[in-house]
Amino acid sequence: MDDKASADPMVLSPNTTASSFHAFIGLVSKLCGPENVSIIKAANELIDGDYMHPCKGHDMHEILDRTYFIASATISPRSVLEVQEILRLWNDFNVLVWPFSAGRNTGYGGAAPRVPGSVCLDLGRYMNRILDLDGIAKKLDLGRWNFYGAVYGREPVRNVSMGAIKAAFLSIPGSRFFLPEDRNEPNSVLRTRSNTLQGITSIDELKWVSWLPNGAHLLFSPITKISSDDAMLQYTVTKKRWAEAGLDFTGTLVVGMREMHQMVCTVFNREDAESKAKAHWLIKKLIKECAEHEWGEYRMHWALMDQIAETYYFNDRALMKRNERVKDSLDPKRVLAPGKNGVWPKAYDKV
């Protein structure tokens, strides 16, 4: 057994012994190559990185202590066959697994595992071949774009639609109307969104995270039906709580075909305990308050998944009971991402 396989991690997952962990890592190192296995041994190894170079074993925008949502090791398989063999070993050695793709789930926990000490499976380092999406979309008769404040179609149709939209907006006293080419300021949000809706990707919007020193963010996205009354109520409720917390409010109402959700970004200083505590208090408070308005959230940070899951209590928690039965049937060894989305294996202690 080489030094990599014999190194002790900072944290082991529940019910995983040091001997089973080392045996597992030794076999995986032979399977994937020792250069593709990384054990987290000390806190000074927790380098945050950035969006383009995310950390692969902890949450770089941590809302709790940095060493809480932490992996014991990260493995980067190079093929589907290696993934299949690794999963067999996971079951044999009773080691918890937490898979992720690129690890850019920023504001929701990043690549960090829900259960501390789980072994992370990095599926994005090598297994990142881009499929022929156009062919798949054609085969499945799927569209490719989402509607977000944009107008599509041939130019005559766009001109008519844009004229009607512009007239409606300008009928509001004090309003102004801009197209992307009208804005010349650096890092224009309108130009960035215009590019996004044309399929031109960018990370420019993430610059708002640097609004504070050591900037990190926590996202909150309650869902409601599409109506002006619900939009104003959601805005009023969330804006009030942000003011109470003494944090800056950055929110966007995204209107879909059948629902509307508000993406509210909480920026905090991850090196400041008071700033982190404010952000954590704020989201916990809003989860409870939004549930009282019957608003659910479509996505949430690992630290708050259990609270979100508990808000779906209809019919004596029928949805969770169904999810738990499916989880126990598909994962009888209880090793695959326990606690993800608040779904825990049967008779498993939450951590």
Tens-digit pLDDT profile for residues 256-290: 888 998 888 889 999 999 999 999 999 999 999 99
Predicted local confidence at residue 137, as pLDDT: 56
The mean pLDDT of 223-250, rounded to a whole number, is: 90
Domains and CATH numbers, the chain: 3-130 (3.30.43.10), 146-196 (no CATH), 205-311 (3.40.462.10)
pLDDT tier for residue 204 given thresholds of 50, 70 and 90: confident
Q: What's the one-letter identity of residue 185? A: E
The mean pLDDT of 191-212, rounded to a whole number, is: 83
Predicted local confidence at residue 112, as pLDDT: 86
Q: Say what the alpha-carbon torsion angle 253, 242, 270, 47 is, to the nearest 10 degrees.
A: -10
| Helix residue spans in the chain (DSSP H) | 3-6, 18-32, 80-93, 133-140, 155-170, 189-196, 228-245, 273-292, 305-310, 314-330
- Report which of residues 199 and 39 the model is more confident about: 39
Predicted local confidence at residue 1, as pLDDT: 37
Tens-digit pLDDT profile for residues 79-113: 989 999 998 888 888 888 999 888 787 777 888 88
Tens-digit pLDDT profile for residues 291-337: 999 998 888 888 899 999 999 989 999 999 999 999 999 998 888 89
Predicted local confidence at residue 30, as pLDDT: 94
The mean pLDDT of 242-258, rounded to a whole number, is: 86
pLDDT tier for residue 147 given thresholds of 50, 70 and 90: very low
- Quick one: how many helices (H) and strands (E) in the chain? 10, 8
**Residue 73, beta-bridge partner list:** 39, 119
Residue 138 has pLDDT above 70, yes or no: no
φ and ψ at 119, to 5 degrees? -95, 125
Do 94 and 83 form a contact (C-beta atoms < 8 A)? Answer: no
Do 221 and 283 form a contact (C-beta atoms < 8 A)? Answer: no
For tokens 């939009």, what's the residue? 231
Predicted local confidence at residue 197, as pLDDT: 80
pLDDT tier for residue 130 given thresholds of 50, 70 and 90: low
pLDDT tier for residue 223 given thresholds of 50, 70 and 90: very high
pLDDT tier for residue 4 given thresholds of 50, 70 and 90: low
Predicted local confidence at residue 91, as pLDDT: 82
Handedness of CA 49, 51, 57, 59 (dihedral sign): positive
Q: Which two tokens stand for residue 63?
A: 């809302």
Residue of 246, 249, 255 whose CA lies nearest to 208: 249
- Report which of residues 26 and 144 the model is more confident about: 26
Q: Which residues contact 2 (CB under 8 A, 6 or more apart)?
A: 26, 29, 34
The mean pLDDT of 132-147, rounded to a whole number, is: 52
Distance CA 182, CA 196 (A): 17
Residue 250 has pLDDT above 70, yes or no: yes
Rg of the chain (C-alpha set): 23
Residue 181 has pLDDT above 90, yes or no: no
Mean pLDDT estimate for the chain: 85
Tens-digit pLDDT profile for residues 23-54: 999 999 999 999 999 999 988 888 888 878 88
Distance CA 225, CA 309 (A): 20
